[in-house]
Amino acid sequence: MKFSRAIVRKPGQSYVNGLTTSDLGKPDFALALEQHAAYVEALKQAGLEVTVLEADERFPDSTFVEDTAVLTEKCAVITNPGADSRNGEIEDMKQVLPRFYDTIEYIQAPGFLDGGDVMQVENHFYVGLSTRTNEEGAIQFREILSKYGYEVTIVPLKEFFHLKTGIAYLGNDTLVLAGEFIDSEVFKDYKHLVVEKEVEYSANCIHINDHVIIPKGFDSTKKQITDAGYQVIELDMSEFRKQDGGLSCLSLRF
Ligand code: CIR
């Protein structure tokens, strides 16, 4: 999987009032903006052309653009996000994505799906069933993608918030995985880079061509990924972690 572009959205001031289950405190907006700018620079360093969308104050969580779409080589799928306060974020994506895609598909109610629940491994997509993605949404996704020759496997989640909270694909048949995925039958045929419970947050990392971007402060994960032959970029993610966000959530890469 070779990527050349990314779409991100700056956080707005309302970001500090977004959804969260963490007890890490309120984000510092100025610091979030700084961390977001560093994120954009890292994507550029990894070789991507980045489209930066302006903040949308109406939607506190809209900096987590990953949840609004799944972008493939053959089509874009606009999702139907499972959180009420986030569902309207897709309206703007309907305006933005036709700049990049001729073929756009949609997940429709009663189906719900968040992009954070979708992981692409070459021509195979894994979809987690979570509090945001229901079976109806996952089945619609499978029906859509099978038209384009992709395979789709549905994975019920036990503990993780989103599928990609605990797993990432690095290319070369290699997965970084944590928690419930470590012993999962579904992923047993891939090479495993296992991330232990205390450093589980670093399982949400992103592979872009030769680079892997990981959150800062996770030395054991950094070592494993460096030893596997990737160039690692570390980013401070403190203000996004406070709102349950990880590295993948902040961009759509295609
Ligand atoms: C939410 O609860 O929707 C946001 N505060 C965090 C979304 C994180 N997105 C992702 O994991 N793809």
Q: How confident is the model at residue 43 (pLDDT cuts 50, 70, 90)?
A: very high
CA of 31 from ligand 1 middle (Å) equals 18
Whether 154 contacts 129, CB under 8 Å = yes
Positions marked catalytic: 162, 249
CA of 19 from ligand 1 middle (Å) equals 8
Q: How confident is the model at residue 108 (pLDDT cuts 50, 70, 90)?
A: very high
What is the average pLDDT across 145-172?
Answer: 98
Q: How confident is the model at residue 20 (pLDDT cuts 50, 70, 90)?
A: very high
Hey, what amino acid is at 147? K
CA of 249 from ligand 1 middle (Å) equals 7
The burial class, CB within 10 Å (0-12 / 13-18 / 19+), for 195 is: buried
Q: What is the model's pLDDT at position 165? A: 98
Q: How confident is the model at residue 107 (pLDDT cuts 50, 70, 90)?
A: very high
Which DSSP category does 113 fall into?
A: B
Q: What is the model's pLDDT at position 13? A: 98
Q: How confident is the model at residue 85 (pLDDT cuts 50, 70, 90)?
A: very high
Domain ranges of the chain: 5-253
| Residue 21 alpha carbon, nearest atom of ligand 1 | 2
Q: What is the model's pLDDT at position 175? A: 98
Whether 169 contacts 155, CB under 8 Å = no
- Ligand 1: residues whose CB is within 6 Å? 18-20, 61, 64, 66-67, 83, 86, 116, 162, 165, 243-246, 249
Q: What is the model's pLDDT at position 203? A: 98
For 126, the enclosing helix (H) or strand (E) is: strand 124-129
Give 5-253's CATH code, choosing from 3.40.109.10, 3.40.50.970, 3.75.10.10, 3.40.250.10.
3.75.10.10
Q: How confident is the model at residue 101 (pLDDT cuts 50, 70, 90)?
A: very high
For 167, the enclosing helix (H) or strand (E) is: strand 167-169
For 155, the enclosing helix (H) or strand (E) is: strand 151-156
Whether 128 contacts 105, CB under 8 Å = no
Return the residue matching tokens 């997940």.
Answer: 107
What is the average pLDDT across 75-90?
Answer: 98
